[in-house]
Amino acid sequence: MKMAGAALGALLLPVVTTAHARLIRSAPADGASLPAAPAQLTLCFNELLERQFHAIELEAAPDTGRPSRPLQLTPVLDPRDGTCLTARAPSLEPGPYVVRWRVVSRDGHATRGVIRFRVG
């Protein structure tokens, strides 16, 4: 009877779930000032990512006064490391940029964030 009560109590306790994927490093790094435009963007997370359902957008920082629409980049999951995404970067003029990303970890949770960097 005590075992049944303990099992029932365990079922009624809140379930602790794993955390969402958290960005642990990026290239360029958030806040970086680069002498030249990067050839690609790399985002690495603390847990494995799904093979699809990711998004990376790049645009000139809104406070620059330059008209800009977000450019949808094509993220690719690193086949050797299921925690990293890469995306080819277009040719960029000097100035500040914003990268908005969204990923889905293998546990099905979506996470999003922003990276800002400057070229030139």
CATH code of the domain containing 63? 2.60.40.1220
Query: Has residue 60 been placed in a domain?
Result: yes
List of the chain residues with pLDDT < 50: 3-17
Query: Has residue 58 been placed in a domain?
Result: yes
Query: Has residue 10 been placed in a domain?
Result: no
Domain count, the chain: 1
pTM here is 0.79
Query: Has residue 8 been placed in a domain?
Result: no
Give tens-digit pLDDT for 6-31: 444 444 444 334 568 999 999 999 99
Residue environment code for 95-118, b if the CB has 16+ CB neighbours within 10 A, otherwise e: ebbbbebebbbeeeeebebebebe
The whole domain housing 51 covers: 19-119
